[in-house]
Amino acid sequence: MSRFWSVAVDAPIDEALTYLAPPSFEGLLRRGQAVDVPLGKRIARGVLLGPKTEAPSFSLKEITKIIDEYPLLPEPFLKWLEWVAQYYFHPVGSVTSLAFPPLKKMIAPRASKRAAVIKASGPSQAPVLTAEQRKTVDGVLAHKGFSTHLVFGVTGSGKTEIYMHLLQEILAKGQRGLVLVPEISLTPQLIQRFAARFGDQIAVLHSQLTPRERTNQWWEIVDGKKNILIGARSALFCPIDNLGMVIVDEEHEPSFKQEEKLKYHGRDCAVMLGKFFQCPVVLGSATPSLESWKNSQEGRYHLHRLFERVEGRSLPNIEIIDMRELKQQRSLSEVKSDLPSWLSPQLFSAMKENLDRKKQVALFLNRRGMAPMVLCPDCGYIHECPNCDISLTLHGSSHLVCHYCDYHENFKELCPDCKQGVMTPLGLGTEMLEQEIAKLFPAARIARADRDEITSRADLEDLIERMETGEIDILIGTQMIAKGLDFTQLNLVGLVLADVGFNIPDFRSPERSFQLVTQVSGRAGRHVKIDEEPGRVIVQTYNPSHPSLVFSQQNDFVGFAQQELVHREALLYPPFGRLISLRLQGTDLEKVQATSQQIAEMATQLKEKFLSYEKIEVLGPAQAPLSRVRGKFRYHLLLKGPEMKDLNKLCRHLLGNEKLFPSGVRIFADVDPLNLL
């Protein structure tokens, strides 16, 4: 047995460290085992990555303890963890530490006063699949070993039923399944559907569980008591042996990308997990990401199309209202409108009619608060956050809040700058929407769903239950209501201001806008019968010719994708090129600026020196669109090129040059970034 072992230590150290195996451990050490090792003056947790043949030139410390509590990490899973660390420039020990639960195993769990993570439910009978669903299930199962499948189906086409049929086949073979959904879609509705089909085979992991609940759910999977794990992106890090299928629902969702610390993309990591386990990966969406769509068009992914809603239900009718024309009509009319400026007569009439028919209405606005800005009309002063380069949002007509650092201050009407003007709210948020709708429909029962109102999973569960039992007439919300929710009585959806997000300085903003409009629209009339009037969607906008709206009105994802891909290809943006974003931040603006300039110059020199870097473009440095957040100045530069392996190599060159980084300046590498703000 080798006396030298490579250990991934849970510490911010890029590489694994080498330790000595004490003689008493001879024959006991295995790759994938959890151990304790000395690190400085403390004992740290680590994972054995394997024996080493060569002894280092310096003296080594001994491995302190083998942690018998945890089983060996499965070999394909451990290889995947090593890939994640390498691909996303994250310390390997910090990555392997994510594979363990937060608390020690409880031998005899005490009775909890909290509600059960999954309510008891007997197995239900699977419905007969439609022809499209059956073709998709058969198409996925026809492939052995690793393969990636894109299930592209209109909203309400029964993708969840496809997932459940596939999982039944996997369980019948004695294998196990992992289902990833966006955190916001991980609702009791979804979990109950799976629990009703699979009984006590389901474990669940999401951010709202307590550490004890997370630990218990982790052990249910690791001990083999449950065979299907449903969770948000972090569920990827639960070690499942004998994995037979990975499913990613709403694969286009930006929330699959983690923006802090380990900046991984859940969907991309899920595909690689399937590759290491040699099992199929299924990605589902009504609005696929352009990366997945291009992969399906080029044959790297197998495409399965669902054109129809289940039971022949109609897709909603989408009507676009040009608010510019409405504004013009109101300015020319001598009769003052009783409606607020943001509300068209068409949407108001449709709401009234829908409520008269005892049906529910949802109004969508991706802006919370009363107003996104307050301004003095006399001198032009705007209340801005002292820590961030952004205006403060008015909440409750009484306080101003920064949505980035949570800075608060009381709202005073007198301008603090000129001492004369009256500070005036500009724009619209969900809070103001709720107040004005209450005046227009005093008898209606109104609920608001945004991050101010829904602060926990219990709040969300309560809201869903009230919608399902018909206790809510009008639901007002941000993108929280756009995804994964399925209400039988919801027939009208109004997009109050579809333009929010059109002009964000990010090449992905048209794609995100199209996805959001389509997904929100898909909430309407999901349970309308064949002979009934279809659901209705009214989109209010000042940009009616925006491609996101034109194509979503026609439910034409393919047309939108073709047009958007032409623009992307011309600029070598993903999915044609690959990106790594380097963000520098610190409290000293000059230092941050100078350091970012040095890195850009170093990157240019490396390009000239090495032929393999020839096709890489170095864009920037420039101030980030959000140039200051939480008191730290931010600069960024982009590395763009056709091959990730070359970008990765160049980035390692830059990050490894410690002389470039003075104290007080931190650099963050983001591979395949989704957010360039």
Where is 425: in which H helix or E strand? strand 424-426
Please tell me whether the overall predicted TM-score, pTM, comes out greater than 0.85 for this model. yes
Whether residue 110 has pLDDT greater than 60: no
What letter would DSSP give residue 23? G
pLDDT for position 121: 58
Cα–Cα distance for residue pair 424/291, rounded to 1 Å: 43
Give the Cα separation of 268 and 279 in Å (integer).
Answer: 15
Tokens matching residue 650? 């160049």
Whole-number Cα distances in Å, 543 to 194, 366, 498, 500: 41, 16, 8, 11
Mean pLDDT of 211-219: 96
What six digits make up the tokens of 674? 């989704």
Residue pair 160/189 in contact (Cβ under 8 Å)? The answer is no
The residue-averaged pLDDT of 546-571 equals: 95
**Does the pLDDT at position 485 exceed 60?**
yes
| pLDDT above 90 for 215 | yes
Q: What's the farthest any 2 CA atoms get from each other in the chain? A: 94
User: 122 falls in which pLDDT band (50, 70, 90)?
Assistant: low
Return the bridge partners of 319, or none: 538
- What is the structure's pLDDT at 480? 82
Count of Cβ atoms closer than 10 Å to residue 621 Cβ: 24
Q: Which two tokens stand for residue 370?
A: 């009363």
DSSP symbols for 516-556: HHHHHHTTTTTT--TTSPPPEEEEEES-TT-HHHHHHHTT-
pLDDT score at 656: 87
d(CA 525, CA 315): 7
Band the pLDDT of 58: cuts 50, 70, 90.
confident
- Residues 623-649 have pLDDT tens digits of 999 999 999 999 999 999 999 999 999
Q: In this structure, what token pair is assigned to residue 317?
A: 């009718």
**Does the pLDDT at position 109 exceed 60?**
no
Nearest to 255 by CA among 266, 246, 268, 271: 266
Sheet order of strands, 408-410 included: 393-395, 399-401, 408-410
Crossing angle for the helix pair 159-172 and 188-198, to the nearest 10 degrees: 40
Is 131-312 in CATH node 3.90.550.10? Answer: no
Domain boundaries, the chain: 4-97, 131-312, 317-369+429-556, 578-671
* Confidence band for 566, pLDDT divided at 50, 70 and 90: very high
Residue 330, pLDDT > 80, answer yes
Give domain 317-369+429-556's CATH number out of 3.40.50.300, 2.60.40.2480, 3.40.50.720, 2.60.40.180. Answer: 3.40.50.300
**Better pLDDT: 221 or 57:** 221
Quick check: 571 pLDDT over 60? yes
Residue 59 has pLDDT above 70, yes or no: yes
C-beta neighbour count of 649 within 10 angstroms: 15
Phi, psi (degrees; rounded to nearest 5) at 595? -65, -45
Provide the pLDDT for residue 2: 73
Architecture of domain 4-97: 3-Layer(aba) Sandwich (3.40)
Query: How large is the average pLDDT for residues 254-273?
Result: 96
Least confident of 154-168, 497-511, 580-594: 497-511
Structure tokens at 569: 């290809």
Both tokens assigned to 155: 């909203």
Per-residue pLDDT tens digits for 526-543: 877 777 788 899 999 999
Confidence of residue 56 (pLDDT cuts 50, 70, 90): confident
What region does 127 belong to: left with phi over 0, alpha with psi -120 to 50, or beta?
beta
Q: Does domain 578-671 have CATH number 3.40.50.300?
A: no
Band (pLDDT 50/70/90 cuts) for residue 336 is confident
Which of 220-234, 320-334, 365-379 is predicted most confidently?
A: 220-234
| Average pLDDT, rounded, for the chain | 92
Q: What is the pLDDT of residue 115?
A: 47
Question: 413 in helix, strand or coil?
Answer: coil
Cα separation, 307 vs 286, in Å, equals 10
When mean pLDDT is compared across 69-78, 167-176, 239-248, 423-432, the lowest value belongs to 423-432
Query: 313 with 530: CB under 8 angstroms?
Result: yes
In this prediction, residue 123 carries a pLDDT of 63
Q: E-strand spans in 101-242?
A: 147-153, 176-180, 202-205, 228-231
Task: Record the tokens describing residue 644, joined without a space.
Answer: 């990730």
Cβ atoms 230, 194 nearer than 8 A: yes
Angstrom distance (rounded) from CA 466 to CA 483 = 17
Mean pLDDT for the stretch of residues 222-246: 97
**Where residue 1 falls among pLDDT bands split at 50, 70, 90?**
low
pLDDT in tens, 197-209: 999 999 999 888 8
Provide the token pair at 24.
């008493």
State how beta strands 373-375 and 424-426 pair: antiparallel
**Predicted confidence band at 113 (pLDDT cuts at 50, 70, 90)?**
very low
Query: What is the pLDDT, as a whole number, of residue 333?
Result: 80
131-141 and 159-172 helices cross at what angle (nearest 10)?
Answer: 40
The predicted structure's pLDDT at residue 633? 96
pLDDT digits (tens, 9 = 90+) for 384-432: 999 999 999 999 888 999 999 999 999 999 999 999 999 999 889 999 9
- Which residues, other chains included, contact 401 with Cβ-Cβ below 8 Å and sequence gap of 6+? 369, 392, 393, 395, 407, 408
Give CA–CA dist 640/671, Å, rounded: 11
Mean pLDDT of 360-379: 92
* 452-464 as b/e: b if 16+ CB within 10 A: bbbeebeebbebb
Please say if the pLDDT value at position 334 is more than 80: no
Average pLDDT over residues 546-572: 95
Same fold, 131-312 and 578-671: no
CA distance 633 to 630: 9
- Percentage of residues of the chain with pLDDT beyond 90: 75
**pLDDT interval class at 620 (50, 70, 90):** very high
User: What backbone torsions phi and psi does residue 54 show, to the nearest 5 degrees?
Assistant: -95, 135
Q: Could you tell me the pLDDT band of residue 108, with boundaries at 50, 70 and 90?
A: low
Residue 653: closest CA among 613, 611, 593, 595: 613
Say whether pLDDT at 119 is over 70: no
Contact 214, 235 (CB under 8 A): no
139: buried, middle or exposed (CB in 10 Å: 19+, 13-18, 0-12)? middle
Q: Which helix (H) or strand (E) holds 446?
A: strand 446-449
Q: State the pLDDT confidence band at 190, using cuts at 50, 70 and 90.
A: confident
3-state secondary structure of 677: coil
Among 93, 103, 79, smallest CA distance to 15 is for 93
Residue 112 has pLDDT above 50, yes or no: no
**Buried-exposed string 512-533: b where 16+ CB fall within 10 A, e elsewhere:** bbbbbbbbbbbbbbbbbeeeee
The confidence score (pLDDT) of residue 487 equals 86
Residue 120 has pLDDT above 80, yes or no: no
pLDDT, average across residues 587-609: 95
State the average pLDDT over residues 571-600. 96
Query: How, if at all, do strands 536-541 and 578-586 pair?
Result: unpaired
Residue 213 has pLDDT above 50, yes or no: yes
With helix as H, strand as E and coil as C, how does 53-100 read? CCCCCCCCCECCEECCCCCCCCHHHHHHHHHHHHHCCCCHHHHHHCCC
